[in-house]
Structure 1
C-alpha cells in the first residue's frame, strides 16, 4: 500500500506540472488558432534564465520567480504574438506549424549559445530535497506540495477567469466570433496577445517546477522535449477546454509513475516505454477523439505553387547533375563526402514534397522513416565484413519496401486526420520510434536468434554496391545520389502533372469535393503515405551510408523538425525546395559550423568570436523559418521569379554567367578555393536580379517583374491578382463575352475579325 501511495503522489505531482503546461497551450490555441510547438522551448529558456538568476548570480528564489514567471515569460509571449503569430492569417496549416517549430529551434540554438551544453547545470527543489512532510506514511517533499497547490490554484483561477470576469468572456468570444467582438468595441488581437503572455508564463512556470522532479539536470533538447509531453494532456480537451486537459494531465502523470512501479524489472524495455508513454497516449487520444468534418470548400491560402512541366524538370535535372559534377572537381574528398550527405538529405526531403506539397498531408518525422529503412538494411542487407562490407541492392529494396509498409501502417489509423492532428500524430510516431527502437541496445532472443535493434547505440552502415557500381568512392556516391535525386524529382513532377497528381491536389484543396466527385480518399492518402515513406527510407539509407555510422540522435525528432522547417523555407511544393532543404540541412550546416570551429582552433585568441558566429548562423536559420508567414510559397520560387524578370535583360544574364565561369576557372587552377568560389557565386546569384533591375529597368519592367512572373501558368488568372482593365479584358475573353469600348462599356458591334477571334 505504501508503494501505491508513493507512486500515486508522484504521479499527481508530475500530472500537476503537465496540467500547468497544457493550460498554457489551450490558452494560446483558443485565442489565435495556432498550436504552439515552441511551448516546451519557452519553458526551457525561462528555466535557464531562472537558473542564471538563482545559481549563477545568487538572487533570491522569490525575486527570480517574479522576474522570470511574472516578467520574462509574459514578455516572450507578447513578443511572439506581436512580431510573428499575428501575421499568420491566411497561411496553410503547415506554414503555421513550421513557424512555431522555427521558434522552438531558434530558442534551443539561442540557449545553447548562451549556456554551453558542455557545462553541467542542476536545479534544486524549492526549500531543498530535505524539506518534506509525511502523509499516510509517505514522505512528500515541499516542492511536490507546491506543484500540486499551484496546479489546483491555476485550475480554479482559470475557471473563474473564463466564467466570472469580463476579460474571460472576451477571450471566449475571440474563439466564437472575433468579428462580432470587434463590433462590440473589443480588439481580438489584444486579447490574443494577453493569452500568449499568460500561456508563456505558464510554460516557464512548468519548466521551473518539472526540472527538479525529473532529476534537476538542465539540457536544452531534453527539457524542451520533456514539456512537449504536455501535448498529450492538452489533446484530452481537443485544445478547447482546460478541465479535460487537467484530467488528461493527471492520467498522464499517474500512468508514467505506475509503469515505473509495477512493470517487471526484468523487462529491459520498461524505461524506454515509460519515456515513450506520453507520445503513445497522444497518438491514441488523437485517433480516438472525434474529428472535424471534411471541409466542403477550399480554404484560400497565400501559397502559390507553380506546376513545372516534365520537359523543364528533365532539363533542370540534367543541369543539376552537370553542375554537381563540375563543382565536385573543386572539392577535396571530405567536401565531396559532405556534399553527398547533403544530396541524401535532399532525397529524404522529396518525401515531404509529394506528401505535404502535393497532397497537403503532414509529416513531422521524415527522418524516422529513414531510421526504419536504415535498421532494416543494417540487419538484412549487409554482406561482407570490415572494409569489404557493402550494402546489397536486394537489402536496399527490402528496406525500402519495409519502410513503405510501415508508412502504410502509420497512415491507417491516421487516415481520417488532417492538419494539426495529423502533424501531432506523426510527431508522436517519431518520438515513439526514437525512444523505443533507437534506444533499444540490449540483446533479445526470438526463435532462438539473438539480436539487438540498435546494437551498442551505433550502426555501421557501409556504402552500397550495385553490380559493377561501387559507391565506396565518394565521387561515385555523390554522382549516384545526384542522379537518383534527379530521377525521383522527375518522377514526382510527372506524377503531379498526371491524373493522380491532380487528384492529390484536389484532395489538398477540398477533401469533401474530391469525395463527392467519386474519389476514394482512403486510397489516395494510403498510397501517398506509402510512396512518401519509401522515398524517405531510400534517402535514410543513403544518408546513413554517407555518414558511415549513425546514432539514434541522427534520426531524432529535433533533426526531423529542422529538416521540415528548411524545406518549407525553400518551398515545400517544389522539388527545388527539397533540394534546397536537403543541401542546407545535410551539408550547409556542417560546412559552416565546421569552418567556424576550425577557425577557432587555428586562432585561439579569437575562438569565442568564431564559435559565436557559428551559433549566430544557427539562430539566423531559425529566424528565416519564422519568416515563412510572410513568404509561404518559399524562397527558391522568389529567386526563380527574379530571374524570370531578367528574360529581356540578356546582357545582365550573360554577364553574370560569364563572371561565374571566370570564377570557376580561377578556382579550378587554384587561384582561390572552393569555399571562396561558393560564397562569391551565391552573392552573384542572389544579387543579379537586383542588379538587372538597376541597370536595365525598362527591360525588367517589360517582363512584368515579379507580379507577372508569379502567375501559375500562361493564361491562368490568379485569385490574388489586382483587378485591372487588362485583367477584365482577359476575363471577358476567357468567358467569351463581347469586347469593351474605351470607356469600359460592352461593345454593341465588333469588327468581323474580332468576332472570329472571340469565336
Structure 2
C-alpha cells in the first residue's frame, strides 16, 4: 500500500505538469482555433533557456524564471502570432496545422543546433537541498509540491480569465467569428495575441517543471507533449476541468506502469508508448464535432494529361540514369534517397492532396515496408516487394478504420499517436512466434536489406538500385495521375471539399477513407523498401515521427495536389541539403532548419511550388527550337562529364544556367497579351470548352 501511494504522488506531480501544458493547448485552440503542434517545443526551448541562464551562466533562479517566463516566452509568443500564424489565419485548418508542424520541426532543429545533443545537461529540482516532507507513508519533495500548487493556481487563474473578464470573453468569441467580434468594438487581433502569450507562458512553465525529471533532449521534451495532447483531448480541446482530469489519468497511468508493469522483453516500450496509445483510444471513444462542411478555401487540384504524365515519367527515369552514371558509390547511397523518399512523399498526394486527409505517419508506413522487404526479400525475391506494399496498405487501412469520425486536427493527432506507438513500442519488440511463424521487426537493432532479383539479374549495386528506384517513382507517378483522372479520384476531391456534402449525396465515407489510406500507405511502403535497399541497413530511428516531419513539410511546400511533387520533394529534401553539407560541413545544423523554415513560408504560397514551376517552364517544353537545343547540349555535357572532361560543378551548374536562359528565351518568344477573364456562362462560346471545365462547374455548384 505504501508503494501504491508513493507511485500515486509521483503520478499526480507529473499530471500537474501535463495539466499546465494541456491547459495552454486548450487556451490557444479555444480562443484562436489553431491547434499548436509546436506547443511542447515552445516548452522545450524555454527549459533549455532556463538551463542556460541558471546552470550555464550561473544566474540566480528567481532572475532566470522572471526572464524566461515574463520576457522570452511572451516575446516568442508574439513573434509566432505575428509572423507565423496571422498570415494563414484566413486560410483553411490544414494550412494552419501545417504551420505549427513546421514550427515544431524548426524548433527541434534550432535547439539541437544551439545546444549539442551529445552533451548531458542535468537540471536541479527546485529546493533540491531541502528535506522532503511526508504525507502519511508517501514522501513528497518540494519540487513535486510546487508543481501541484502551480497547476492548481493555473486552473483557477484560467477559469477566472476566460469566464469572469472581458478579455476572456473577447478571446472566446474571436474563434467563432472574428469579423463579428470586430463589429462589437473588440479587437480579435489583440485577443489572439494575448492567447498566444499566455499559451506560450504555460508551455514554458510546464517545460521548466518537467525538465529536471527527464533528460534535457530536444526531441524527447517536445514529444512529451503527446501526454498533454491526451489530456487536452479528454477535455475535447475546450473544457479545462476535463483537461485536468485527463492529465491525472495520464500521469497516474505512467507512474503505475513504471511500478507495476511486468519485466520482460516485450513490455518496456509499452510504458513509453502508453500516452500515445491512450490518446489514440481517446480519439476513438470521445465524441467530436460533426463532419466538416465546406472548407474556407477551395483549391483547384490540377488534372494531369496522359501525355504530360508519360513525359514526366520519362524525365524521372532519365534523371535517375544520369545521376547513376555520374555519382560515385558513396554518393549513390546518399543521393539515391531522392527517388525512394520521393515515393514516400508521393504518398501524400492522393491522401492529403486529393482526399484532404492529413497524416503524420507516412514515414512509419515506409518503415513497415522496409522491415517486410528486409525479412521476406532477404534473397531478392521480387514477390516480397508486393508483400511489403500489401502489408503497409493493411496497416494504413487499420489506421483509417477510426478515421470515419476523425477529421482535421483530430485525424492529425490520431496519425501522430499511431506513429509514436510504432516508434516507442512496436518497432522495439523482439522477434516472436505466432502459430509457429516467426515474426520479426527491427528486433531491437537494425535490419540488413539487399536488392531484388529482376529478370534473372540481382540488382545490388548503388547504380542499379538508383535506376530501379527512379523507375518505381515514375510508375507510381503514372498511377497517381491516372487516379486523379478516374471517377474515384473525382470522388476523393469531393470528399476533400466537403465531407458532409459527400456523405449527403450518397458517398460511403468509410470505404473512401479506408481505400485512400491503404493506397497511400502502400505507396509509402514501396518507398520504404526502396530506401532500405539503398541504405543497406536501416534502424527504427530512421522512420520515427520526428524524422518524418521534414519530409511532410517539403511535400506540403511542393504542393500536395501535384503529381510531380514526389520528384520535387525527394530532390529538395535530399539533393541541396547533402550538397551543401558536402561543400560546407559546418552548415549541417542550418540545413536541418530548412524544412521548418520552408513550411513556415507556406502562407506566402499555399498552392505549392510545383505548380508554379510547371507554369514557368511550360513555355520551354512547348518551344520547338529551345527544347531540342537544350536536350542536345545536355546530352553533349553528359558525355563530357562521363569522360571526365569536365567536373561535377561545371556539368550541373552549366546545365542549370543553360536551362534558365533557354526558358527565358522561350518565354519571350511565346509571350502574348493576357486574355480577358470570361464569365463562366460564356465558356464554350467566347472561348473553347476545356475538359476540366465540367469538374470546375460541378465543384462550384456542390460547394455553393
TM-score scaled to structure 1, two decimals? Answer: 0.85
Higher mean alpha-carbon deviation, 146-155 vs 286-295, is at 286-295
Say whether the 8 Å CA contact 1:302–1:632 is kept in structure 2: no
Higher mean alpha-carbon deviation, 14-23 vs 134-143, is at 134-143
**Deviations along 1:401-427, whole A, 9 cap, x unmatched?**
222222111211222211111111111
**Deviations along 1:282-319, whole A, 9 cap, x unmatched?**
111111122322344x3242644321112210111112
User: Is the alpha carbon distance of 1:369 and 1:80 closer, same or farther for their aligned partners in structure 2, counting shifts above 3 Å?
Assistant: same
1:533 corresponds to: 521
Offset of residue 570 of structure 1: 0.9
Higher mean alpha-carbon deviation, 168-177 vs 205-214, is at 168-177
Say whether the 8 Å CA contact 1:92–1:303 is kept in structure 2: no
d(CA) in 2 for partners of 1:285, 1:685: 53
1:640 corresponds to: 614
1:238 alignment partner, SS class: coil
User: Is the alpha carbon distance of 1:734 and 1:452 closer, same or farther for their aligned partners in structure 2, counting shifts above 3 Å?
Assistant: closer
Say whether residues 1:401 and 2:390 are aligned partners. Answer: yes
**Deviations along 1:682-741, whole A, 9 cap, x unmatched?**
566568767877xx4xx565264xxx8xxxxxxxxxxxxxxxxx33x543423879xxxx
1:615 alignment partner, SS class: helix
2:219 corresponds to: 221
Say whether residues 1:667 and 2:648 are aligned partners. Answer: no
2:89 corresponds to: 89
- Pairing partner for 1:469 from 443, 454, 457: 457
Say whether residues 1:422 and 2:418 are aligned partners. Answer: no
Say whether the 8 Å CA contact 2:341–2:527 is kept in structure 1: yes
d(CA) in 2 for partners of 1:106, 1:596: 20
2:399 corresponds to: 410
d(CA) in 1 for partners of 2:373, 2:405: 31
Correspondence list, 1:491-530, <5 A: 491-530=479-518
**Deviations along 1:475-512, whole A, 9 cap, x unmatched?**
22111111111111111111110111111111111222
User: Is the alpha carbon distance of 1:176 and 1:359 closer, same or farther for their aligned partners in structure 2, counting shifts above 3 Å?
Assistant: closer
**Deviations along 1:227-271, whole A, 9 cap, x unmatched?**
332111111122122221111111110111111122223x33332
d(CA) in 2 for partners of 1:166, 1:258: 42
Say whether residues 1:550 and 2:538 are aligned partners. Answer: yes
User: Is the alpha carbon distance of 1:141 and 1:671 closer, same or farther for their aligned partners in structure 2, counting shifts above 3 Å?
Assistant: farther
1:720 corresponds to: none
Say whether residues 1:319 and 2:293 are aligned partners. Answer: no
2:690 corresponds to: none
Offset of residue 85 of structure 1: 0.2
Correspondence list, 1:62-211, <5 A: 62-128=62-128, 131-211=131-211
d(CA) in 2 for partners of 1:684, 1:151: 63
Say whether the 8 Å CA contact 2:427–2:443 is kept in structure 1: no
Say whether the 8 Å CA contact 1:667–1:674 is kept in structure 2: yes
Offset of residue 544 of structure 1: 1.1
Say whether residues 1:354 and 2:350 are aligned partners. Answer: yes
- Pairing partner for 2:280 from 249, 266, 283: 283
d(CA) in 2 for partners of 1:290, 1:232: 14
Say whether residues 1:243 and 2:241 are aligned partners. Answer: yes
User: Is the alpha carbon distance of 1:483 and 1:380 closer, same or farther for their aligned partners in structure 2, counting shifts above 3 Å?
Assistant: closer
User: Is the alpha carbon distance of 1:451 and 1:404 closer, same or farther for their aligned partners in structure 2, counting shifts above 3 Å?
Assistant: closer
1:6 corresponds to: 6
1:269 alignment partner, SS class: coil
1:459 alignment partner, SS class: strand
User: Is the alpha carbon distance of 1:15 and 1:563 closer, same or farther for their aligned partners in structure 2, counting shifts above 3 Å?
Assistant: same
User: Is the alpha carbon distance of 1:682 and 1:190 closer, same or farther for their aligned partners in structure 2, counting shifts above 3 Å?
Assistant: farther
Offset of residue 9 of structure 1: 0.7
Say whether residues 1:627 and 2:609 are aligned partners. Answer: no
- Pairing partner for 1:460 from 448, 453, 459: 448
d(CA) in 1 for partners of 2:475, 2:440: 35
d(CA) in 1 for partners of 2:108, 2:98: 15
d(CA) in 2 for partners of 1:117, 1:80: 25
1:702 corresponds to: 672
Offset of residue 339 of structure 1: 2.9
d(CA) in 2 for partners of 1:206, 1:77: 15
Offset of residue 659 of structure 1: 6.8
Correspondence list, 1:233-312, <5 A: 233-265=231-263, 267-296=264-293, 298-301=294-297, 303-312=299-308
Unaligned runs of 5+ in 2: 687-704
User: Is the alpha carbon distance of 1:339 and 1:68 closer, same or farther for their aligned partners in structure 2, counting shifts above 3 Å?
Assistant: same
- Pairing partner for 2:683 from 734, 740, 745: 734
1:134 alignment partner, SS class: strand
Higher mean alpha-carbon deviation, 576-585 vs 67-76, is at 576-585
Say whether the 8 Å CA contact 2:641–2:648 is kept in structure 1: yes
2:538 alignment partner, SS class: strand
Say whether the 8 Å CA contact 2:553–2:595 is kept in structure 1: no
d(CA) in 2 for partners of 1:66, 1:692: 61
Say whether the 8 Å CA contact 1:272–1:435 is kept in structure 2: yes
d(CA) in 2 for partners of 1:19, 1:683: 56
d(CA) in 1 for partners of 2:673, 2:429: 59
1:616 corresponds to: 590
Offset of residue 149 of structure 1: 0.5
d(CA) in 1 for partners of 2:287, 2:659: 50
Say whether the 8 Å CA contact 1:648–1:702 is kept in structure 2: no
* Cα RMSD (Å): 2.6
2:134 alignment partner, SS class: strand
d(CA) in 1 for partners of 2:258, 2:93: 37
Offset of residue 519 of structure 1: 2.1
1:391 alignment partner, SS class: coil
d(CA) in 2 for partners of 1:116, 1:524: 46
Say whether the 8 Å CA contact 1:400–1:534 is kept in structure 2: yes
Offset of residue 674 of structure 1: 2.3
d(CA) in 1 for partners of 2:182, 2:285: 36
Offset of residue 177 of structure 1: 3.1
1:563 corresponds to: 551
Offset of residue 587 of structure 1: 4.7
d(CA) in 2 for partners of 1:675, 1:371: 34
Say whether the 8 Å CA contact 2:7–2:256 is kept in structure 1: yes
**Deviations along 1:74-123, whole A, 9 cap, x unmatched?**
11111011001011134343322221111111111111111112222111
2:140 alignment partner, SS class: strand
User: Is the alpha carbon distance of 1:643 and 1:270 closer, same or farther for their aligned partners in structure 2, counting shifts above 3 Å?
Assistant: same
Say whether the 8 Å CA contact 1:444–1:451 is kept in structure 2: yes
Offset of residue 473 of structure 1: 2.0
Say whether the 8 Å CA contact 2:333–2:534 is kept in structure 1: yes
Offset of residue 648 of structure 1: 8.9
2:347 alignment partner, SS class: helix
User: Is the alpha carbon distance of 1:591 and 1:547 closer, same or farther for their aligned partners in structure 2, counting shifts above 3 Å?
Assistant: farther
d(CA) in 2 for partners of 1:129, 1:8: 23
TM-score scaled to structure 2, two decimals? Answer: 0.92
- Pairing partner for 2:584 from 574, 587, 596: 596
2:683 alignment partner, SS class: helix
Say whether the 8 Å CA contact 1:98–1:565 is kept in structure 2: yes
